[in-house]
Each structure stands twice: as structure tokens, then as C-alpha cells.
Structure 1
Amino acid sequence: MHDAKIRERGAGAVAPAPRARGRRRRGRELLHALPWIGPAVVLISVVVLWPVVEMVRTSFLKISSSGLTLGSQGGKNYSDLFAEDDLVGILIRTVLWVAAVVIVTMVVSLALAQLLNARFPGRRVVRWAVIVPWAASVLMTALVWKWMLDNYFGVVNRVLLDLHVLHEPVNWLSHPDQAMMWMMWVAVFVSLPFASFVILAGLQTIPGEVYEAARVDGAGTFRTYFRITLPMLRPALLIASIINVINVFNSFPIIWAMTQGGPGHATDTTTTFMYKIAFFDQDVGESAAMAVVNFVLILVMVLFYLRASRWREEVR
């Protein structure tokens, strides 16, 4: 009995050894992988993490228009920002802008990806044509649409007048609601190619045998689409949606080129408002505080979307 207890204590004392060996082995594996992942870690630290740290640090400083640091501001930049009369309206408009553009983009991209995945004459040419809005400069695309919407010489007014839809030219971009609708259209226009090709890639990974099995079981077109295609497209939809949320949230060129956030702040989003604070009001610290709020909003929206789409199920 006594010997058995001694053996049990001995076994208990030796038990942690495998765990220690496992930790040492993982440490050696990490050291072996470091030359490969090290450059990526350095790049991410310099390009992503360091600017974020600087942004947060700047939001607590008083900085002159020439870029000279004049000392700490504490939380004054944030208190000044939240005291802005137009901030609440701009935040609500930004969320609506992102939600509307991303939802419409994803719905249209689903249909467009199905078209691009079908076999028809000239499919390759159509695929190349779809890439054009994505390959072109976003700023130039926005400027072209601004010229097309000109109330005197724009092609939109000209066509609508010739079709007798309008009786007189309309200055589309001078009315905030109409201007937002047109800017949303341009944002969808430039977002469609990326989302469509991501979904197209997802469609091409679905095995044909799955559809054959569904047809054998008597599943119709709609049932096959909603029970097989959409569930298997979830990873592609997740990637396309998240990247679109981030891109649309930070979409500065479209709004600035078409309306500059005007009249007043009527079509501003957080990005254009941030720019105006920095370069019109010459308040770099408050602009940095707006950048931090913008960054947090993006994270919240992405996390909310991940939560709503139950992304962990994909990991399992």
C-alpha cells in the first residue's frame, strides 16, 4: 500500500514533463517559422498598427495647423467633437450610407455573379467589361458622374428631357436627398465588380455533384438555390460584405468629388467631416478624435455583421 502511494506520487511528479516538452516543441516550431512570418509581422506592425497607435495618440494632443505639437489636450478633442451640432446627423447618415450601399451591392452582385457563371457566347468579354468600374480610378468615375449630372450640360438631364420625363433641367447634386441617392448609385457601381467576382469564385467552388444529387431528390430551382447555393456561398458573401463595409465606410473620393459634403454638412459622412475639421477648421487633434470614432464604428459594424451571420459556425 505504501509503495503504491509512492509510485502514485512519482507518477504525479513526472506527469508535467510531457507538457513541458510540448511547450518546448511549440517554441522551437515558432522559432523555425519566424523567418517566414517575421517580414509579414513587421509589415503589419509598420503599415497597420503603428498608424493606429499614432492616430489614438494624436487625438489627445494639441497640434497646430503646421503640424507642431503644442502639448496634451487630455479629452478636450473628444469633448469638442461630441459638442459639434452636426455630428449626430453625420453618424446616422454614415450608417445609412454604408448599409444601403452594401445591401444593394450584395443583392445585385449575387445576380451578376450568377450571370457571369453561366455559359453564353461572349462570356469572357462580359467578365472583362464588369472589371472596368473597379479598374478605373474611383475619383475619375465620381467626376464623370458629376459631369453627367450637370443641370445644364449633363447627359442625364438631356436624356430625361428628350424622353419628356422632365420639363426643365434639375440640379441633382444641390438637393441633399437626391445627391445622396446618386452618390449611393456611384458607390454601388464601383463596388459591384469586386463583390461579383468574389461571389463568382465562391460559385465555382461548389461541386456539380451537389446539384445533381439535388435534382435526383426532386429539388426545384428555388429550393436548390436557397438550400444549397446560398449556404455554400456564405464564406464568399462574408468576405465580400466585410471588405465592402470597410471600403464604403471610408469612401472619401465619391462624396468629395460630387458634393464635397455640401450643401453645408448635408451630405457629409464621417470621412469628409474628418477632412473638413482638419483642413477647414485647422484642428488636427479633433480630426484625429473623429478618426478614432470612425475606426471604432467600423469595428462595431463588422463585429455586428459577423455576429449576425454566425461566422463561428463556418470555423467549426
Structure 2
Amino acid sequence: MVTPDSPARKGRRPGRLGPLPWIAPAVLLILAVVLWPVYEMVRTSFLRVSTSGFVRGSAGLDKYRKLFGEADLGHVLLATVAWTAAVVALTMLLSLGLAQLFNQRFPGRRYARWALIAPWAASVLMTSIGFRWMLDRTAGVLNTALTDLGLVDGPRDWLGDPSTAWPWMVFVAVFVSLPFTTYTLLAGLQTVPGEVYEAARVDGASPWQAYRRITLPLLRPAFLVGLVINLINVFNSFPVIWGMTQGGPSSDTATSTVFMYQLKDTDIGESAAMSVVNFALVVLMVLAFLKVSRWNQEES
């Protein structure tokens, strides 16, 4: 007879835990670096906090009312949507072409693949500051070159004018996003069996038909992974904009993430409220995208 305290029963207890001992460290890490900061972020948005960090009591919903009353908030949200859409669309389109190129055999392909890693290996903030120096009005190499070539009458303040600052920031954001997305799509392309293309050629399919009916459907999982990760990264992008314009002048080149950082100088509680809004927008955006794209459904 096996009693509750018998050795046989004690020996079976660890097995009942299943995979818990193995995943427990990962769960604890998620709790420590994700869920706890989210909790603190939400809690802070309901507090009155001085700029020196001292809590002055509860603020209720006052910080959210103050946030939604900000004159720049509407412009910042529209700019964030336009920024995210432009960077993600250009990144996915260019990465798809580069992945197709690197999937072909040509002289120097290995070195071209290595070169593509450079923007990804370098610090995004360092890259942004480098472009800011290049675009500097007085000492930037771009103004110097264009002036010497007679293409401009005089030095231009590329980052001081939102109409020229936004295109340059989009360019830099695409530049640093291309490596990861290209390699994600390249990995997807390399999983497509070559026999499938041979069978398509035998059946008389043109290259465009094979690409549309074979490559794109089989590339869909990798494409969706790259798209979702880019949506999250670009929406939350901070180093590119802060390194180039710091969201200025005023908040004319700020996205919601940069705007949140700007608010901390005057009201930490309001900045936390903007963080909560950003977090909610990211979650809703990803859930809506996965719903529309039918992430969990196979192609019919």
C-alpha cells in the first residue's frame, strides 16, 4: 500500500510538475522585465509625481484628462501612423526584393550578404547621430557636396524643417530595418523546395505565375513575422528620431514614443499616461493585424 508520505509517492511528485521546472526561469524573467514594469507604468499614470521623482498623492484620471487635452497630441498620433506605415511598407517592399536577389547565385553574394549586416550590427542611435552630422547645416558633408556641385544655392537646414526632416528619418529607419527583414524573408525563401519550381516549369507556368502562386503563398509565414516585428519596432522607434531631431522643433517631428519622453520633463504622471496609451495601441494594432491576416489559419 502506498501512503501519502511513502517514497514511491514522493518520487512521483516532481513528474507531476511537467515542464514547469524548465520554463520557470523564463516565466520569472518575463514577470521581472515585462509585467512588473507594465504594472508600475499603469500605477504611475494615476499618481502625482514631482519632476524629482517624489510621489505627491493620487491623481485619479487627471493625468489622462491632461494628456488628451494636449494641443500636440492629435498631430503626434497622425504623424506616428504615417511614420509607421511609410517605414514598414518601404522596408517590406525593399526587403522582399533584396531577399530575392540574395537567394540567387551571383559572384560576391557572400560579401554582399555580409555587407547587409552592417546597419544591423551598428548601434541605431550611433547611426542616427552619424546621419545628423552628415545633414548638419554648417559642417554637414551633404550641404558641402551639394553646394560645391551647384545643386543648391546655400546650406539647408535639413533637420530643422519638418518637411525635409521626416523623409530623412524615414530613410534612416528603413536603412536600419532592412537587414533583419531581408534575412527573415531570405530564410523563408530558402525553405521553398526547388522541385516545386521545376514542376511548375514543366506545367508551363511563367516566372511571374510561379512567383505569385508558389513563392508568395509559401513565403507568407516569414512575411507575417517580419511585418509584425517591424510594426512593433517602428511604432516604438525612439533612437532614430531622438538621435536626429529630438522630436523638434517643438513636437513637429515627434512620434508618440518621443512625445512621451518629452512629457517627462514637465509631468512624469502624464508621461506615464502616454506610455499606457502607447502600450494599448501596440496591443490593439497587433491583435487587429493578426485577426485580419488570419495568422492561425492555413492557406486554402
Alignment TM-score > 0.5, same fold? yes
Residue 256 of structure 1, CA deviation: 1.0
| Secondary structure at 1:313 match in 2 | coil
The 5 Å alignment of 1:8-47 reads 31-47=17-33
Q: How many aligned positions are there?
A: 288
Task: Note closer, same or farther for the CA distance 1:30–1:293 as it changes in structure 2 (3 Å cut).
Answer: farther
| Secondary structure at 1:265 match in 2 | coil
Residue 61 of structure 1, CA deviation: 1.1
- Mapped to 2, the partners of 1:224 and 1:243 lie a distance apart of 27
The 5 Å alignment of 1:143-292 reads 143-279=129-265, 281=266, 283-292=267-276
Which of 283, 293, 314 is the aligned partner of 2:277? Answer: 293
The 5 Å alignment of 1:94-173 reads 94-173=80-159
- Mapped to 2, the partners of 1:301 and 1:163 lie a distance apart of 46
Residue 162 of structure 1, CA deviation: 4.0
1:235–1:314 Cα contact (<8 Å) kept: no
- Mapped to 2, the partners of 1:56 and 1:216 lie a distance apart of 60
Kindly provide the amino acid, as one letter, of the partner of residue 290 in structure 1. Answer: M
- Mapped to 1, the partners of 2:217 and 2:15 lie a distance apart of 37
Kindly provide the amino acid, as one letter, of the partner of residue 296 in structure 1. Answer: A
Kindly provide the amino acid, as one letter, of the partner of residue 298 in structure 1. Answer: V
- Mapped to 2, the partners of 1:138 and 1:33 lie a distance apart of 38
Residue 307 of structure 1, CA deviation: 2.5
- Mapped to 2, the partners of 1:85 and 1:92 lie a distance apart of 13
- Mapped to 2, the partners of 1:293 and 1:88 lie a distance apart of 13
RMSD: 1.7
| Secondary structure at 1:91 match in 2 | helix
Match of 1:304 in 2: 288
Task: Note closer, same or farther for the CA distance 1:304–1:165 as it changes in structure 2 (3 Å cut).
Answer: farther
Gaps of 5+ in 1: 1-26
- Mapped to 2, the partners of 1:309 and 1:188 lie a distance apart of 23
Task: Note closer, same or farther for the CA distance 1:28–1:210 as it changes in structure 2 (3 Å cut).
Answer: farther
Kindly provide the amino acid, as one letter, of the partner of residue 24 in structure 2. Answer: G
Gaps of 5+ in 2: 1-12
Kindly provide the amino acid, as one letter, of the partner of residue 124 in structure 1. Answer: R
Q: Which moved more, 1:35-44 or 1:89-98?
A: 35-44
Residue 29 of structure 1, CA deviation: 7.0
- Give TM-score, length-normalised by structure 1: 0.87
| Secondary structure at 1:71 match in 2 | strand
Q: Deviations over 1:27-54 (max 9, x none)?
A: 9976121111111111111111111111
Task: Note closer, same or farther for the CA distance 1:261–1:135 as it changes in structure 2 (3 Å cut).
Answer: same
Identity %: 60
Residue 254 of structure 1, CA deviation: 1.0
- Mapped to 2, the partners of 1:229 and 1:40 lie a distance apart of 36
Kindly provide the amino acid, as one letter, of the partner of residue 271 in structure 2. Answer: S
- Mapped to 2, the partners of 1:30 and 1:202 lie a distance apart of 38
Kindly provide the amino acid, as one letter, of the partner of residue 62 in structure 1. Answer: R
Kindly provide the amino acid, as one letter, of the partner of residue 229 in structure 2. Answer: I
| Secondary structure at 2:264 match in 1 | helix
2:98–2:182 Cα contact (<8 Å) kept: yes
- Mapped to 2, the partners of 1:127 and 1:57 lie a distance apart of 46
1:255–1:268 Cα contact (<8 Å) kept: yes
- Mapped to 1, the partners of 2:135 and 2:268 lie a distance apart of 34
Residue 155 of structure 1, CA deviation: 2.1
Q: Deviations over 1:75-112 (max 9, x none)?
A: 00100000000001100100110111000000000001
- Mapped to 2, the partners of 1:295 and 1:128 lie a distance apart of 35
- Mapped to 2, the partners of 1:310 and 1:34 lie a distance apart of 30
Q: Which moved more, 1:304-313 or 1:223-232?
A: 304-313
Q: Deviations over 1:273-300 (max 9, x none)?
A: 1111112x1x111100000001111112
Match of 1:69 in 2: 55
1:64–1:284 Cα contact (<8 Å) kept: yes
- Mapped to 2, the partners of 1:264 and 1:284 lie a distance apart of 18
Higher helix content, 1 or 2: 1
| Secondary structure at 1:85 match in 2 | coil
Q: Which moved more, 1:306-315 or 1:75-84?
A: 306-315
1:102–1:248 Cα contact (<8 Å) kept: yes
